[in-house]
Amino acid sequence: MAYSPSYQKQKGRGVANGGFTPTHAYNFIPGILNGAVVMNAFDPGQGFNDVNDGGFHYFRIEEVKTMRYPTFRRVGIIYRDLGIATIQVALSAVDDNGQVNTNAVAGVYPSFTIGTKLATGRLCQKFLDTVITGMLPQMGIIRAANAGPVSISKMWLTTEVEDTSF
């Protein structure tokens, strides 16, 4: 069976492009703006510092040890140095009654600065000392609008787990 030249050019392009011409390369990111679901386009040429909108990312919930209460004392972050930025680290965990415990003080998560003025582009490491106890821990990064460029490569929690048998 012979294919037309226009079909052969399109062969392998069966991916939906959302109505945009295939000559444009956009990275579409779903988001929420004033309560409505929107599609945002990410332009890496503008850097990682959005002057209009903040950002956040919550990492998956981990089960450290079944039916145990771990105490988290430190958060480790590996980030790419894109310049000076201020971020907040949000931790949460639940107790036996389903109540959520957080590391927020008076509703505000602890914040700290990452990066350097030189913006070396290298991977750097930072630690944040904090304490939270509970099951199913979840960790997040929050960046306010125009708080600086942020690119997180890896995060982890340092924990202790009680070993009392039930």
| H helical segments located in 11-165 | none
**CATH code for the domain of 116:** 2.60.120.260
- 72 neighbors 130 (Cβ within 8 angstroms): yes
For residue 75, give its domain range: 50-161
Question: Structure pTM?
Answer: 0.66
Whether 133 maps to a domain, the answer reads yes
Count how many domains the chain has: 1
Q: Is 157 a member of any domain?
A: yes
Structure-token match 């390369």, residue found: 25
Tokens at residue 150, please? Answer: 């942020």
Model confidence over 98-148: pLDDT tens digits?
A: 888 888 877 788 888 999 999 999 999 999 888 888 888 888 888 988 898
d(CA 91, CA 144): 17
What was the pLDDT predicted at 120? 92
Residue 104 lies in a domain: yes
Q: Is residue 20 part of a domain?
A: no
Q: How far apart are CA 138 and CA 157, in angstroms?
A: 10
